[in-house]
């Protein structure tokens, strides 16, 4: 059984907004990151020669190293975006939900 | 004997003991002892989390891996960072919203307290104790070669200091020690990397081509496959990193030291920044060691190997970069790293015993504060003495298997159980127990039958289970059992548990709300 406060939250429109926004953001970011790691892993098993190729034909840095650093950079960028979304959308929604409980 | 190393190490010990003395005066309640009074800010907690992760195993071990196998080390560099994205996106905020001191609080939120606590405390101990032992044995060997102390003395020194920090200073002292060490390690790593790049005019391509020229494997180090070639191993390593990170009890405990979910979120974001930065340095340090250490007779044994083993690659490189003074600094930092990490592990093991088992199982959630704290302190001393004794017995043994067990159990016991309890409404007590214990059993049996124990330690000719890493199958065993035993559970208890999910879900999204 839900308490009266929890019932109020459960039917609150902003609560649903918050939940579905957070769900969409987290899972899509996660999918991108795990997908890129899986791609790297599969490439290193099945197409090692691709990862060993230089990125530029006149250079020496191989695709594998560049890809590794790119995934690190991507993780960092998605983290920043997540925090930005949290500050910009999650937190105001949370404050609204709490404020609407007072009424 | 490196005088500057010893001097810098002594300064570190004196400062940390001072912090412990200060923290002891501020550690009175349970929340002080387990969670530093929830007074830590996002930035500092981010540093402390990064510090927990940047152990000697990462700094020296992954550097050694890059040093000897080149590109295959990238798998660890990426995985080590990505695991934190899982913590940020799936775990951190909910954990803080639902729990008090340990991740078992979350698993036991709506499931039956006693059996579930016993299972998740077992999971915590099964991660913390082997990991602690692996660090202690590694520490003994490392300190032996850095400071020329006898192995036994080194182990006792680490054991006594960690016991002092945790017993008297609790989480507050542990967090500050971890923070200071994280700053020192990030500084040291930066100086080594900049030093390497400066010698090559900041040309990354020059580093790569110099490494290929010097390394005995030649161009093969810039291709995958020197170490890992089969897909099962690669997937298991990936899973262990990506989901094991979110199952490490000493790291999860840190999310309770901040005031709210917002600070928990910010602390992981800072941690990802520090860890990602550090991991990207590791690769440069590893290749730098190939170029400047592997062909320098000063660092080589008669047989052509590195003095002190390949784990010393980063340490030797620091001598090339900054002479004896900088070598001393990096040695002291490595020692500090070990001390800080073993302290965090000890605290999480003590909390599993005193908070999960004593307070919630034996006292039924109604324990006396003083007795509970006394029990956690006694546990700390017992753990300190036991690990010192075991580490002395295990001198010279291959302890890689212990670290392997720890991360595999974190990924195949703790994480799935915590994840399902947070996200799946039909997860029941029966499912949690079946999943947790089957994951634990599978992980242990596969490690036993795998190449590390069956062949290297027990001396059989061929492993029964051909892969070193058990994570893939152990995780699957956990998830399948958890699913099957949950959906087939038609008991009254299971119904009630499913019904109470809604309230847990709401609290996990916006935190505890005052009842009006």
Tokens read off for A44: 């290193």
Question: Rounded to whole angstroms, how far apart are CA atoms B104 and B102?
Answer: 5
Among B13-17, B236-240, B317-321, the range scoring the smallest mean pLDDT is B236-240
Average pLDDT, chain B: 91
Among B175-179, B458-462, B477-481, B488-492, the range scoring the smallest mean pLDDT is B458-462
* A-chain residue closest to B88, CA distance: A79
* A-chain residue closest to B507, CA distance: A6
The structure tokens 């579930």 sit at B116
Put simply, the chain A residues between 40 and 69 with a CB less than 8 A from any chain B CB are 40-45, 48-49, 51-52, 59-62, 64-65, 68-69
Q: Is the pLDDT of residue B26 over 70?
A: yes
Write phi, then psi, for A54 (nearest 5 degrees). Answer: -65, 145
Contact B78 A83 (CB under 8 A): no
Question: Rounded to whole angstroms, how far apart are CA atoms B107 and B474?
Answer: 19
- How many domains does chain B fold into? 1
What contacts B202, CB < 8 A, 6 or more positions away? none
Assess contact for B330 and B59: CB atoms under 8 A: no
Contact A72 B85 (CB under 8 A): no
The answer to the question of residue B55 being in a domain is yes
A-B interface: how many C-beta pairs under 8 angstroms?
150
Secondary structure tally for chain A: helices H, strands E: 5, 0
The answer to the question of residue B450 being in a domain is no
What contacts B95, CB < 8 A, 6 or more positions away? B103, B106, B252, B255, B264, B418
A22 Cβ under 8 Å from any chain B Cβ: yes
Specify the pLDDT at position B4: 83
Mean pLDDT of B254-273: 95
Q: Is the pLDDT of residue B346 over 80?
A: yes
Contact B516 A68 (CB under 8 A): no
Mean pLDDT of B442-451: 91
* B-chain residue closest to A42, CA distance: B231
- Maximum CA extent, chain A: 69
User: pLDDT band at B458, cuts 50/70/90?
Assistant: confident
The answer to the question of residue A21 being in a domain is no
Q: Is the pLDDT of residue B442 over 80?
A: yes
Specify the pLDDT at position B400: 67
For B116-151, the pLDDT digits (tens) are 999 999 999 999 999 999 888 888 888 887 788 899
Q: Provide the residue range defining the domain that includes B275.
A: 3-406
Tokens read off for B83: 């695991």
Contact A60 B212 (CB under 8 A): yes
Question: Cα B145 to the chain's mean position, in Å?
Answer: 23
CA atoms within 13 A on the CB side of B3: 0
A5 Cβ under 8 Å from any chain B Cβ: yes
User: pLDDT band at B1, cuts 50/70/90?
Assistant: low
User: pLDDT band at B3, cuts 50/70/90?
Assistant: confident
The answer to the question of residue A17 being in a domain is no
Assess contact for B345 and B250: CB atoms under 8 A: yes
Contact A69 B516 (CB under 8 A): no
Give the residue with greater pLDDT, B365 vs B346.
Answer: B346
- By Cβ distance, the residue of A18, A43, A79 closest to B269 is A79
Q: Which of chain B's residues have a Cβ under 8 Å away from the Cβ of A29?
A: 85, 89
Q: Mutate one of A29, A39, A68 to test the B interface: name it (highest B CB count within 10 A).
A: A68
Task: Tell me which residue of B307, B347, B343 sits closest to B327, measured CA to CA.
Answer: B307
Give the residue with greater pLDDT, B419 vs A59.
Answer: B419
The answer to the question of residue A6 being in a domain is no
Question: Rounded to whole angstroms, how far apart are CA atoms B338 and B135?
Answer: 7
Q: In B301-325, which positions are buried (b, 16+ CB within 10 angstroms) versus exposed (e)?
A: eeeeebebebbbbbbbbbbbbbeee
Specify the pLDDT at position B505: 93
Residue B492, SS3 per DSSP = helix
CA atoms within 13 A on the CB side of B326: 17
Q: Which of chain B's residues have a Cβ under 8 Å away from the Cβ of A48?
A: 223-225
Q: Is the pLDDT of residue B96 over 90?
A: yes
Write phi, then psi, for B300 (nearest 5 degrees). Answer: -105, 150
Contact A76 B272 (CB under 8 A): yes
The answer to the question of residue B270 being in a domain is yes
Q: How many CB atoms lie within 10 A of CB A17?
A: 15
Question: Rounded to whole angstroms, how far apart are CA atoms A79 and A72?
Answer: 11
Among B45-49, B138-142, B427-431, B434-438, the range scoring the smallest mean pLDDT is B138-142
Q: Mutate one of B50, B97, B193, B224 to test the A interface: name it (highest A CB count within 10 A).
A: B224
Containing B251, the helix (H) or strand (E) segment is helix B249-252
Burial label, B400 (beta-carbon count in 10 A; 0-12, 13-18, 19+): middle
Specify the pLDDT at position B483: 97
Q: Mutate one of B83, B92, B93, B272 to test the A interface: name it (highest A CB count within 10 A).
A: B272
Specify the pLDDT at position B478: 97
Average pLDDT, chain A: 92
Residue B463, SS3 per DSSP = coil
Put simply, the chain B residues between 224 and 243 with a CB less than 8 A from any chain A CB are 224-225, 228-231, 234-235, 238, 242
- How many domains does chain A fold into? 1
Mean pLDDT of B199-222: 92
B512 Cβ under 8 Å from any chain A Cβ: no
Q: Which of chain B's residues have a Cβ under 8 Å away from the Cβ of A64?
A: 71, 74, 222-224
Q: Provide the residue range defining the domain that includes A66.
A: 29-102
Q: In B100-112, which positions are buried (b, 16+ CB within 10 angstroms) versus exposed (e)?
A: ebbbbbbbbbbbb
Measured in angstroms, the CA of B89 and the nearest CA of chain A are apart by: 5
Mean pLDDT of B99-109: 93
What contacts B510, CB < 8 A, 6 or more positions away? A9, A15, A18, A94, A97, A98, B97
Q: Is the pLDDT of residue A1 over 70?
A: no
- By Cβ distance, the residue of B222, B273, B502 closest to A76 is B273
Question: Rounded to whole angstroms, how far apart are CA atoms B118 and B433?
Answer: 9
Burial label, A33 (beta-carbon count in 10 A; 0-12, 13-18, 19+): buried
Assess contact for B163 and B381: CB atoms under 8 A: yes
Q: Is the pLDDT of residue B351 over 90?
A: yes
For B357-401, the pLDDT digits (tens) are 999 999 988 888 899 999 999 999 999 999 999 999 988 776 767
Contact B273 A79 (CB under 8 A): yes
The answer to the question of residue B37 being in a domain is yes
Specify the pLDDT at position B407: 85
Specify the pLDDT at position B451: 85
Question: Rounded to whole angstroms, how far apart are CA atoms B426 and B264?
Answer: 27
The structure tokens 């007074």 sit at B39
Specify the pLDDT at position B455: 85
Specify the pLDDT at position B366: 86
Q: Is the pLDDT of residue B449 over 80?
A: yes
Mean pLDDT of B217-229: 87
H helical segments located in B398-510 = 400-409, 415-423, 429-449, 471-487, 492-499, 501-510
User: pLDDT band at B97, cuts 50/70/90?
Assistant: very high
Question: Rounded to whole angstroms, how far apart are CA atoms B79 and A97?
Answer: 37
Q: Is the pLDDT of residue B403 over 80?
A: no
Question: Rounded to whole angstroms, how far apart are CA atoms B260 and A91?
Answer: 12
For residue B16, the domain's CATH number is 1.20.1730.10
- By Cβ distance, the residue of B262, B276, B510 closest to A75 is B276
Q: Mutate one of B70, B77, B208, B223 to test the A interface: name it (highest A CB count within 10 A).
A: B223
The answer to the question of residue B116 being in a domain is yes
């Amino acid at each position: 059984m839900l308490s009266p406060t929890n019932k109020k939250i459960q039917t609150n429109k902003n609560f649903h907004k918050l939940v579905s926004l957070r769900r969409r953001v987290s899972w899509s970011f996660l999918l991108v990151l795990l997908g890129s790691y899986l791609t790297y892993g599969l490439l290193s098993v099945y197409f090692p020669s691709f990862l060993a190729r230089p990125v530029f034909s006149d250079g020496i840095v191989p695709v594998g190293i560049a890809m590794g650093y790119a995934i690190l950079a991507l993780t960092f960028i998605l983290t920043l975006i997540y925090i930005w979304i949290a500050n910009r959308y999650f937190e105001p929604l949370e404050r609204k939900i709490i404020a609407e409980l007072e009424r | 004997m490196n005088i500057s190393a010893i001097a810098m190490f002594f300064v570190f010990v004196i400062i940390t003991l001072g912090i412990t003395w200060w923290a002891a005066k501020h550690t009175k309640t349970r929340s002080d002892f387990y969670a530093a009074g929830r007074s830590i800010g996002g930035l500092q907690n981010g540093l402390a989390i990064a510090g927990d992760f940047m152990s000697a195993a990462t700094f020296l071990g992954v550097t050694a891996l890059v040093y000897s196998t080149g590109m295959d080390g990238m798998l660890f560099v990426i995985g080590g960072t990505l695991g934190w994205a899982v913590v940020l996106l799936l775990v951190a905020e909910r954990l803080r919203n639902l729990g008090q001191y340990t991740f078992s609080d979350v698993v036991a939120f709506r499931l039956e307290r006693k059996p579930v606590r016993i299972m998740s405390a077992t999971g915590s101990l099964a991660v913390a104790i082997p990991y602690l032992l692996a660090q202690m044995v590694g520490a003994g060997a490392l300190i032996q070669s850095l400071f020329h102390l006898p192995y036994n003395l080194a182990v006792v020194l680490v054991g006594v200091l960690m016991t002092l920090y945790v017993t008297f200073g609790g989480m507050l002292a542990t967090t500050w020690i971890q923070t200071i060490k994280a700053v020192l390690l990030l500084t040291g790593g930066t100086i080594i990397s900049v030093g390497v790049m400066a010698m090559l005019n900041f040309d990354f391509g020059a580093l790569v081509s110099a490494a290929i020229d010097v390394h005995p494997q030649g161009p093969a180090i810039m291709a995958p496959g020197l170490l890992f070639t089969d897909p099962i191993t690669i997937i298991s390593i990936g899973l262990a990193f990506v989901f094991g990170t979110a199952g490490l009890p000493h790291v999860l405990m840190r999310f309770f030291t901040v005031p709210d979910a917002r600070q928990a979120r910010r602390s992981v974001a800072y941690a990802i920044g520090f860890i990602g930065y550090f991991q990207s340095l590791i690769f440069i340090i590893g290749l730098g060691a190939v170029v400047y250490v592997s062909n320098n007779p000063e660092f080589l044994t008669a047989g052509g190997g590195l003095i002190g083993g390949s784990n010393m690659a980063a340490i030797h490189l620091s001598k090339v970069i900054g002479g004896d003074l900088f070598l001393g600094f990096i040695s002291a930092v490595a020692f500090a790293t070990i001390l800080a990490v073993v302290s965090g592990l000890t605290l999480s093991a003590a909390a599993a015993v005193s908070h999960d088992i004593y307070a919630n199982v034996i006292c039924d959630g109604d324990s006396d504060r003083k007795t509970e704290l006394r029990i956690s302190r006694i546990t700390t001393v017992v753990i300190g003495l036991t690990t010192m004794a075991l580490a002395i017995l295990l001198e010279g043994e291959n302890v890689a298997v212990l670290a392997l067990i720890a991360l595999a159990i974190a990924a195949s016991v703790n994480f799935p159980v915590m994840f399902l309890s947070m996200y799946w409404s039909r997860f029941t007590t029966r499912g949690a127990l079946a999943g947790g214990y089957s994951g634990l059993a599978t992980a242990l049996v596969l490690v036993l039958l795998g190449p590390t124990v069956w062949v290297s330690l027990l001396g059989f000719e061929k492993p029964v289970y051909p892969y070193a890493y058990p994570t893939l199958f152990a995780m699957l065993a956990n998830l399948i059992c958890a699913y099957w035993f949950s959906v087939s559970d038609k008991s009254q208890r299971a119904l009630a548990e499913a019904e109470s999910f809604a309230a847990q879900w709401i609290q996990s999204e916006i935190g505890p709300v005052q009842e009006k």
